Structure 1
Amino acid sequence: MPGVTRSKACQCCKRRKIKCDEKWPTCSPCKRTKLECPGPSTVVKFVHDTQAQSTSDSDQDSCSSEITAVGSNSVSLHMRKIVHRQGGSYSSFRIRSTAPRISTRPKLTTLSDRIAARLVSHLDRSQEYGITLRLGYLPFLPQRISHSACLRDCVALFCAAWSNYRGRWQAGRVVTMSNYSKALRTLRNTLRGDQALSVETLAAMTLLERTEALFDWGQERCSAIHAHGIGHLITKKGYVDMNDELDVELAKENRGLLLGYWATECGKPFTGDARIIDAPEADIDGGEFWGTDELKPYLESALAITGGSYGSWTQWLQDAEGIQQDPFGSEMLDRATCLRPQLSHAAAETKQCLESLMESTLDLGTLTREDDPDSASGKSYGFKTAALAQLFNGLLMLRLVSLRISYDLSVIYGSPDTELYSEYQEVCGNAWMCISYLRKLDVSVSAAFLGPYSACIEASSEKEMDALQSIIKTMDSYLDRGLVGTEEPAHTALESENIYAFQSLGIE
C-alpha cells in the first residue's frame, strides 16, 4: 500500500512534473511562467466508504415503492420516481417474480436419459418426414430406452450415425466402429438373458438393421443376417400386443423381412399370429401426415389393400416360382388355375383404388400433375407429403407385380396376353412420373423408393432409362462420397435396395 504523500509542491509543478522550490506565496517556476501559484499541497489523506453526493444544480430527490400483484404466480412491481430540482421528473419500474424458479427441463442424470433426449432432439429438428418416414416406431423409443441396455446402445448408434450423415461425413465412416461394436455386444448379452423376447430387444434389432441400411453406404451390408435374426426373434415371440403401440409399429416395419424369412428358411407362408401381417398400416387421422383430413375415406380402402396384400405376396411368388420350374405338372397346373383369378382380382381392386385416390388427391391439391421436360412423357407427379407418395408408389407396385406375374403365366402356357402387357406398360409409365418427386427427397429415402422400380426397367424407353441412370448416379455420388481406399462400392444405391427388397420377398 503506498504511503502518505510528503511533498508540499504546488499542483502546477506536479502537473508539469518539475521540481518545486516551495518558496511561498509564489514558487520560482510559477513566477517565471507568470502563473498564479496555488500554494503548497496538503499532505493529509481522507478515506471514506460513502458515495459522493452531487452538489450541482442537477441534484435529485428520489422515492421508490413496491407493489405485489395478486394472482396465481406472485409478481413484485418495483417502481422508482426521480424528481429534478429544476422541475423535471421521470419514473422507472421493474417486474420481478417472487415465486421460486423451477427448471422446465428435468436434469438428465442417467445415460439413458441423455440418449433419449438426443433422439428427441433429432426428431424435433426433422422438418420433413425423410428418414423418419421409414421408421414409424421412433417416437415410441425414448420412454423405453431405460428398460433395455441393448436398445439404449442401438439408439445411441442411430443418433450418432444420423448426426454424422447430416454432417456430410465420408461414406463408410458414418457408422463408427466403436458405437457399432458396443451395440452388438450389449445385444448379444441381452439375447442370452431374460429379455431376449422382449419388445425392446426387437426394437433394438430392427433399429440396428435400419441404421446400417440407411447410413452405412460404401460398406458390405449384412441385411440378410439382420433379417434372419429379426425373423427368428418374431417367430419365437409369436404374438403382437395390440395395446402396445411400439409392438404394433415394429410388426408393420418387419412384415417384409418376416415374410422373406419364412419363405426362405421355412419354405412356406407365415403361419404365426395373423396380427403381425394384418397390423394397421397407418393412422389415417393425421391430416399433417397425409396433407389433408378430407382424404380419410379414400385412405381407409387404400391402406386396407396395401396392408392386406402382405399375406398374399409370399404365396404368389412361391407359386409362380414352382410353376416356372414345372409348369405342366398336375400340381402346378392346379396352382396356376387358382393363382390367375387371385392376381386378376388384386390388379382390378388396386386399379379401382388408385383411380379413386388419384381423382380425390388431384381435386384436393395434395397431388399435382406438372409439366416436366425431363420426363419421358413430359409430365410428372408432385405430392404434398412424402407419406402420400409412399402410399401411391405402394399401390402402383402392387398392381404392377400382379400384372407382371399374370403376364408371365400367360407366356409360360403359350398364349401371351398382349392386353396385360399393355396395361403393365401403362402402370410403368405412371411410376416413371414419380421420379422427379423422388429427386427432392433425402437421398437415403429416395434410394428406398427406387428399389421396386427395377420391375419397370423392361418396359422403360431409352429416355426413361437415361433418367433412372441419372438419378442413380446422383445418389451414388452423394451416398458414396469421398470413399477412401475403395476402388468401387460393393453395390450401387439401386442394387443394394433391390437386394434388400428381393430378400424380403424370398427371392435370391
Structure 2
Amino acid sequence: MPGVAKSTACANCKKKRIRCDQQWPTCAPCRRSSMMCPGPSSTLKFIQHLAPPTDGTPVGKRKAPVSSKAAHPFAVMVDRGHLSPYNNGKAVHGSFRLQVPRFKSTTTVDRVTAQLVHLLEIKERTGLELPSYLKFVPERLSQSTCLADSIALLYLTWHQASRGQSQAKVLGSKTYGRALKSLQRAVNSQAVYTVETLAAMVILLGLTVHYKPFTLIDYRPHTVAIRHVMRQLGAPEIQSSLHIGLIQGTEGLIGGHFESPWKETNEILQSLSGNNERREGEKEVEAFARTSLEGIMTIFRPYLSNILPTVLKIWKDPVAMRGSHESVVQDILAVRGPIETARKDVWEACSSPGFMVELPEPSFFLGHKVVFTSATMANYVLSLTMMNISVLAVLYDVQKIYGTVNKPARAEYQGLCLKIWKCLPYFETLDAATSTRLIKSVASVFEHATDEEISSILNTNLEWSNLGAKSKTDKEGFRTEVMRISNLWYSRGSGQQEVQYSIRPAEKS
C-alpha cells in the first residue's frame, strides 16, 4: 500500500500546536495572524506495511518508492534515502522531502495584487468597508502605478487594523504620501481620463473620509475632480464592471450623479439589474429629488466646514466659548430651515405616488417597514433625512451644553431616526454592496438604541461587521462604533451623550 502522510501542516501551525486547514498557498490560521505561510511541511513521515521480501533484499537496503504523482498539488515528492525496518520487520518507515514551489513576487504589481486578493478573501472585521468593485481591480493593476499605490495603502490600513493598531496612522505614512504623489503624476499626464485613475481617486477619497473628521476638512475639490473625470470618461461600456462599480460606489461620496453621462449609466444599471419597468412618473420624481439634494448640498457643505468646527470648540471648552454659542445656534437654525423644507418636499413627492411607502411588517420588531421603488430613490431620501437629523442633533447638543433643553428638536430628531429604523427590512432586499453603503451612511441614528433594541437590530438579515459588531450578539462593539461615527458626524470630539433612551415612543416600547 502507498505511504501514509502523518501531517502536511505548515511550520507555523505546528509550532503553535493548532489545527492547520492546509488550504495552500496560505492556510486560515496564517491569514488570521497576517503571517507569511510557509506552505506544507517539507518532511512527510510515513509507515508502509509490506509483504515478506521476495528478492531477499534486506529491508534497510530498499529505496523509498517515489510516486509519479505529487503528494499534494502544491508539493512535489522526491526520494530521500533508504527505509528502515519497523514492527519487527513487518513494515518499513522513513521520510520524504517535499520540493514546495514558492511564488515569488518579482514586481510591485505582483506584490500588491497578492495583497488585494488576500484582503478580499478574509472575512474578519477590519473596520474598513470594502467596496464590491475591488474584485475587478487586480487585472488592471499592471496598467496603472497610481492604482497599485492606492491599493497598497488600502492593504496597509487593513494590516494596521488586524493588529489592533490605529488605522488613522496610515494618513501620515510614507505609503499614503507615495499614493498621493503617484495620483498627482497621473492627473498631470495623459492617464488622467482612465478608469484606473478614477479608481485610485475614489479609493483615496474613501480612506480620507473614513479617517478624517467631516468638520476638519473640505472634500469638495476632490469630489469635483472625481465628477469631472467621470464626465470626461462618459457612460461606461456594459462589460466594464470596474467602471460601473465605481459609479455605483461613489454616489454617496460625491453627492449624487446629476449630469450626463449618469442618465445613460442609470439605464445601464437598470438593465443589469433586470428591472427595466419604471412606474409612471418615477423618473420625474427621481430628477426632482436629485435637484433638491444638489441644491441643499450647496448649503450643507459650508455648514460642515464653517459651523461644525466651532461646535467642536464648544465641546472642548464650553466656558471659553460661551459668548459664541448663541450665534452658532442662529447659524444652525438658518441651515435647518431649507434642509427641513427640502426633506418635506421630497418626502411628499415620493410618498404621494407610492414611491416611498410605510407598510405593516409583523415580523419586524417595530411592526412597520418603509420601502422604496428603487435604491436610487432611497439614497436621495435618506441623504436629505440624515442631513436634517445631523442639524437637529447638533442644535440639541449645543443648547443642552448651556442648560437649554430643546424638546421639540429632540422629538423631531427621534421621529426621523425611527423612520430610518423602519427602512432596515428594505435594506435586506438590496444587494450586499448597496445595503452596506446605506447602513454606513445612516449609522448615527442607532446611537440612542437600548440594549433590547440593538439586539433586535442585529438580528436583522444584514451585515453589521462594518459597524463594529463581530457577531449577532456583539452589542458593545456595535454601540462603540456607532458612537464613534456619531461623535465625528456631530462634531463632539471625544464627547459622549450621557443618556441612553429608546427612540421609540413609550407606548410602543
Q: Higher relative contact order by CA 8 Å / sep ≥ 6: 1 or 2?
A: 1
| TM-score, length of structure 1 as denominator length | 0.48
| TM-score, length of structure 2 as denominator length | 0.48
Higher-Rg structure is 1
